[in-house]
Chains A and B, each alone.
Chain A
């Protein structure tokens, strides 16, 4: 039951605020609402603490039984670690937001979305069913959409919200397809069962597509290259949201899923290649782009991308040690990055801007923020005595022992190179923000936030310190079970700052020295970067999204639309008919059917038949040539009468008689109708359109004739005629078979037909009467 309350408590809170919202909107909620809401993550956090130390277990509630979908939760080290992050940082973010949001903001809406997100995120990490996980996963995307667009009056917010939703939403749906593939392999959606079937999955022919599709979901969510483009735009959200969703929790959902499914998928060359490859590329790209940023939040966004790539790479390496390193770094990153985001929020509030062009040398004006930023940046740069140092050393160590890589030294060199940028942007944040004087002046005179503003960040920063100086506090109870859940083997962490002089320490030296050098030359490097960016404007995934997705697809669609959806009925009919004929023709060509002349010759054409046939063709041609409607109608009637004559020649006088009658009535009716319209056709058809019509008509005629000739000699079932011929006298006592059929065998039908005709006649009479007395008054309102 604990687990149910963990997941559903935030949802309940969200719903409660929603229901109370009309009342709350009227009240001046001030900071009290935040204080009340803060109780939710606090309760959830303590509930999760109570789960620590329990063996991994699951909790089921049946949902769609026939399909193996249930509401099922998995409690193990990994979900507890993430659950603590979500609720713990959630608590701090709620506290921070009470200071951050001014009274003008719509706090009610803010907390509704925030609680919804928290519940969804907890759902993702505790889910034991792929479908349940997907449900919560998409909910996080949607609440992120609503939260990024919180300041809806800014166009940038709306753009960012849509972009995040589309990219992560695409990944989510791809992931669902991957889950279905996984279901096809394992025949279950139950995660804990899937995790035990690693060998089956890895040897399946669907392994690669399933992995790629699922990884698409993870990569889009965790902003891996080239899907990282949504994250910088998501920074339009209020800073508490950026700190919470876009650095500490939601973007880690992708990492979480990779970790969660590691036992089922990892251990192959493809896995390492895909996951580590994506991670390392992202790490480098994020770092390179981060040093360019002057907007502090933008810098943090790219640094988050880079760090997420680093963690992804560690999961990709797939060794016991690299998984442990990744777990440690998840905790580290969450602590220092959230703290730094909160500091940026404080700077933004205190200076009115967060752009390094205008803010700088804040050391004295913002003493508390400075201390927090110092810890955060040094930890991010990977310097001792902070947690970041430990995990970075572990990262280096794991990069030295990667399976499936044949070139020695390649990966270690690459990670050192990428880390140089990490070092540089960390120092850019710290030195430019707090020591160096900025070229411009901020709109407001810098001032520190009250304690309510910086306390959350301070708590996070102290955790970052603790992770460095006393990592043992966390390692046994939280980190080891989490690592064990990912690797499937018991983990033993020996976290310490000093391991003696070893290869990772040397690698660190090779990071720090060029890093310092890069930092000192930062202006020149970024100028060079801008030059390249200006020369290659298309060499950018953003370009692909803006021009390709937002611009390109609709314009292609619009162009093809004009052709297809012209509004002209004639073209619509043209397309339908040509599709039918083309399909028929293609089939026969494909099958190589040839015409057999047996059918035609068997019929034995006589001269009178041929003559009649020629006349029919002439009458049909005349119909389309006549400019006068009445002549056209008459010649159309002519074809009908000639067809009836054809029946006479074929020896079916009764059928011919019926045809004569029907034809006469139709000609009269058509004449009656056309009596009301102008006597001449107005030719408006374009010449090319006309010739197209001719081509299509000839085409249809030829293909249908060909087909009919081919079908002629196919086997038909026995005719029913014998039955009537034999039985008409026996059963009905009549020799005129046609009469007997009409009045006896099908007596009910005839009665029905008669009544239908009578009713139709009545209707026609009524309408004629209507015509006779046109309404007085309004012109053009009479008639039909």
Chain B
């Protein structure tokens, strides 16, 4: 009897393979490039991402399950992969100027971003608890390094340590949850778990409940949901701004993408009442995030809390447990990524030599000296609040609608009240930009990369708001695999 080798279709992870190899190449090339010319590696990274994006094209429409079912490639995974590649590219674009100003223009910076991207891209493809865990760790490890990248800045180092220690605890908790789930069902494959779960009453199985709570905790940490959010404001503030942007967009998008697959597959959200814990977390997350954001004077911290609040809105879609809800999460995530990245780009613009520029007051009068920047920020603010014609509105409409159709009226109403609070703190920033006196030496750190990043994020925020038809179709088609 011949040994049976599994039929591995490497094409399913072709983009990841390309990107990982190119990232390794970047590390090799890094040694041969002088410090002043490290920017070239950034362009190299952009090129690598572009190539990766191209390599996804032949994969559209394919449905592949490989590595003994551990990795799948479907429209859902591709949807997120595309978004993540774009996010990563924007991060690199906004980094060029920043790393020079903060004197962290080392080649590794771009390489680690690429590795994190590989991890993120694998996450929506993970169809097995182990492949999910591995890709999550690949992403997390890279991010730990990135957060502490300004190693001479005590704040950055402190936030790196904090992020690492809490992150490791969360990973441990997820692993424990995986152990319980595996122990009960006897498999780590999400599809097989879902078959097993359908025969079970989750609420009456202690080990399933335990697994569920542990997984919620771990995911809650990764998406920064209350009460597992405490790391976020500290880390967001200390990390280099583009990395903060990466954390609040890429990391959150990837975590949600895999959370959706794991939860929809392995826990039957339509039965029993045990998922009400999600309800509590969602309400706490949006309320605390928004209320505390009100009190912030630092831009990065404010956006950190607002990003916490957004995780709360997103959970509404999961609670609703319907096609609209899941599609809503996908649409909202993409829109959210662009608008957050845009807002962070504006912060990066403020960063000058010897001036961190992360206070709200640093934006004083910016709209009057740079009308275009003011206008784009209004756009991002509108989108973050959920006012048309922006991407944030479309997503929020779906999420609210999902909550209401699922009968969660109170959840929707709490969401509405929260949006009002967010209106206040976003527009407080707009007020400062439009109505305060500009500082005398206000010169924004514009570079070609920044212009592209700002223009692209603003364009996408508006485009997804004005013509959301394609993304809605893509999202609704993608979530069909779950239903």
Chain A residues within CB distance 8 Å of chain B? 21, 63-67, 131, 134-135, 138, 142, 145-146, 149, 152-153, 157-158, 161-162, 165-166, 169-170, 172-174, 176-177, 180-181, 183-184, 209, 213, 549, 553-554, 556-558, 560-561, 564-565, 567, 569, 571-573, 575-577, 579-580, 583-584, 587-588, 591, 593, 707, 710-711, 714, 716-718, 730-731
Q: Are A584 and B210 in contact (CB under 8 A)?
A: yes
Give chain B residues whose Cβ lies under 8 Å from the Cβ of A718: 186
Q: Does B294 contact A (CB under 8 A)?
A: yes
Q: Are B420 and A561 in contact (CB under 8 A)?
A: no
Tell me the minimal C-beta distance from A737 to chain B in angstroms.
17
Q: Are B207 and A173 in contact (CB under 8 A)?
A: no
Which of B161, B386, B469 sits near A173, CB closer than 8 Å? Answer: B386
Tell me the minimal C-beta distance from B308 to chain A in angstroms.
11
Give chain B residues whose Cβ lies under 8 Å from the Cβ of A131: 388, 397
Which of B183, B291, B389, B469 sits near A66, CB closer than 8 Å? Answer: B469
Name the CB-closest residue of B to A167.
B420
Tell me the minimal C-beta distance from B349 to chain A in angstroms.
20
Give chain B residues whose Cβ lies under 8 Å from the Cβ of A174: 416
20 example contacts (A-B, Cβ-Cβ < 8 A) are as follows A135-B393, A142-B378, A149-B431, A162-B428, A162-B431, A165-B423, A173-B385, A173-B419, A173-B420, A177-B404, A177-B413, A180-B404, A553-B291, A553-B421, A567-B234, A569-B165, A576-B166, A584-B213, A587-B209, A711-B180
Give chain B residues whose Cβ lies under 8 Å from the Cβ of A716: 183-184, 186
Name the CB-closest residue of B to A576.
B228
Known: A554-B294, A711-B183. A580 touches B173 (CB 8 A): yes
Give chain A residues whose Cβ lies under 8 Å from the Cβ of B217: 576, 579-580
Give chain A residues whose Cβ lies under 8 Å from the Cβ of B180: 711
| Contact residues, B153-198 vs A (CB, 8 A) | 161-162, 165-166, 169-170, 173, 180, 183-187
CA distance A180 to B415 in the complex (A): 13
| Contact residues, B412-470 vs A (CB, 8 A) | 412-413, 415-417, 419-421, 423-424, 427-428, 431, 434-437, 467-469
CA distance A530 to B445 in the complex (A): 54
Give chain A residues whose Cβ lies under 8 Å from the Cβ of B428: 162
Tell me the minimal C-beta distance from A652 to chain B in angstroms.
18
CA distance A138 to B427 in the complex (A): 13
CA distance A385 to B420 in the complex (A): 46
CA distance A716 to B185 in the complex (A): 7
Known: A162-B424, A169-B420, A180-B397. A579 touches B435 (CB 8 A): no
Tell me the minimal C-beta distance from B370 to chain A in angstroms.
12
Starting from the known contacts A66-B469, A169-B420, A707-B206, 6 additional A-B residue pairs (CB-CB under 8 Å) come to: A64-B469, A64-B472, A169-B387, A169-B423, A561-B292, A573-B169
| Contact residues, B301-352 vs A (CB, 8 A) | none
CA distance A554 to B295 in the complex (A): 5
Q: Does B277 contact A (CB under 8 A)?
A: yes
Give chain B residues whose Cβ lies under 8 Å from the Cβ of A67: 472
Name the CB-closest residue of A to B413.
A177
Q: Are B184 and A64 in contact (CB under 8 A)?
A: no
Give chain A residues whose Cβ lies under 8 Å from the Cβ of B166: 569, 572-573, 576
Tell me the minimal C-beta distance from A98 to chain B in angstroms.
24
Give chain B residues whose Cβ lies under 8 Å from the Cβ of A577: 169
Known: A173-B420, A180-B412, A588-B206. A134 touches B388 (CB 8 A): yes
Give chain A residues whose Cβ lies under 8 Å from the Cβ of B150: none
Give chain B residues whose Cβ lies under 8 Å from the Cβ of A176: 397, 400, 416
Which of A134, A177, A587 sits near B412, CB closer than 8 Å? Answer: A177
Tell me the minimal C-beta distance from A208 to chain B in angstroms.
11
Q: Are A717 and B186 in contact (CB under 8 A)?
A: yes
Q: Are B387 and A65 in contact (CB under 8 A)?
A: no
Q: Residues 390-411 of chain B: 1 if any A CB is under 8 Å from the residue's CB, otherwise 0?
A: 0001100100110011000100
Known: A149-B431, A174-B416, A591-B204. A573 touches B165 (CB 8 A): yes
Q: Are B435 and A158 in contact (CB under 8 A)?
A: yes
Q: Does B3 contact A (CB under 8 A)?
A: yes
Q: Does B214 contact A (CB under 8 A)?
A: yes
Give chain A residues whose Cβ lies under 8 Å from the Cβ of B482: none
CA distance A173 to B473 in the complex (A): 25
CA distance A206 to B400 in the complex (A): 15
CA distance A131 to B277 in the complex (A): 32
Q: Are B404 and A184 in contact (CB under 8 A)?
A: yes
Known: A135-B388, A161-B431. A714 touches B1 (CB 8 A): no
Give chain B residues whose Cβ lies under 8 Å from the Cβ of A153: 437
Q: Are B420 and A138 in contact (CB under 8 A)?
A: no
Chain B residues within CB distance 8 Å of chain A? 1, 3, 161-162, 165-166, 169-170, 173, 180, 183-187, 203-207, 209-210, 213-214, 217, 221, 227-228, 230-231, 233-234, 274, 277, 288, 291-292, 294-295, 371, 378, 382, 385-389, 393-394, 397, 400-401, 404-405, 409, 412-413, 415-417, 419-421, 423-424, 427-428, 431, 434-437, 467-469, 472-473, 476
Tell me the minimal C-beta distance from A281 to chain B in angstroms.
23
Tell me the minimal C-beta distance from B250 to chain A in angstroms.
23
Which of B214, B234, B371, B424 sits near A580, CB closer than 8 Å? Answer: B214
CA distance A558 to B382 in the complex (A): 25
Give chain A residues whose Cβ lies under 8 Å from the Cβ of B404: 177, 180-181, 184
Tell me the minimal C-beta distance from B312 to chain A in angstroms.
15
Give chain B residues whose Cβ lies under 8 Å from the Cβ of A64: 394, 468-469, 472
Name the CB-closest residue of A to B274.
A587
CA distance A180 to B469 in the complex (A): 19
Tell me the minimal C-beta distance from A209 to chain B in angstroms.
7
CA distance A665 to B382 in the complex (A): 55
Tell me the minimal C-beta distance from B329 to chain A in angstroms.
16
Give chain B residues whose Cβ lies under 8 Å from the Cβ of A213: 416
Name the CB-closest residue of B to A583.
B213
Give chain A residues whose Cβ lies under 8 Å from the Cβ of B295: 554, 557-558, 561
Give chain B residues whose Cβ lies under 8 Å from the Cβ of A572: 162, 166, 230-231
Tell me the minimal C-beta distance from A761 to chain B in angstroms.
18
Q: Are B206 and A714 in contact (CB under 8 A)?
A: yes
CA distance A679 to B301 in the complex (A): 37
CA distance A564 to B234 in the complex (A): 12
Centre residue among A213, A560, A587 by max chain B CB count within 10 A:
A587
CA distance A394 to B173 in the complex (A): 71
Give chain A residues whose Cβ lies under 8 Å from the Cβ of B473: 66
Tell me the minimal C-beta distance from A733 to chain B in angstroms.
12
Give chain A residues whose Cβ lies under 8 Å from the Cβ of B187: 717
Q: Are A576 and B434 in contact (CB under 8 A)?
A: no
CA distance A134 to B1 in the complex (A): 69
Q: Are B213 and A66 in contact (CB under 8 A)?
A: no
Name the CB-closest residue of B to A152.
B435
Q: Are B423 and A173 in contact (CB under 8 A)?
A: yes
CA distance A145 to B382 in the complex (A): 13
Name the CB-closest residue of B to A172.
B387
Q: Are A714 and B401 in contact (CB under 8 A)?
A: no
Q: Are B371 and A714 in contact (CB under 8 A)?
A: no
Q: Are A580 and B405 in contact (CB under 8 A)?
A: no
Give chain B residues whose Cβ lies under 8 Å from the Cβ of A170: 417, 420, 423
Give chain B residues whose Cβ lies under 8 Å from the Cβ of A149: 431, 434-435
Which of A138, A593, A731 sits near B206, CB closer than 8 Å? Answer: A593
Tell me the minimal C-beta distance from A584 to chain B in angstroms.
6
Give chain B residues whose Cβ lies under 8 Å from the Cβ of A593: 206
CA distance A115 to B450 in the complex (A): 31
Name the CB-closest residue of B to A717.
B186
Known: A177-B412, A711-B210. A564 touches B230 (CB 8 A): yes
CA distance A561 to B435 in the complex (A): 29
Give chain A residues whose Cβ lies under 8 Å from the Cβ of B213: 580, 583-584, 587
CA distance A64 to B401 in the complex (A): 15
Q: Are B427 and A576 in contact (CB under 8 A)?
A: no
- Which 6 A-B pairs rank lowest in CB-CB distance, beginning with the nearest? A717-B186, A152-B435, A135-B388, A170-B420, A572-B230, A557-B291
Tell me the minimal C-beta distance from A550 to chain B in angstroms.
8
Name the CB-closest residue of A to B183.
A716
Name the CB-closest residue of A to B184.
A714
Tell me the minimal C-beta distance from A118 to chain B in angstroms.
18
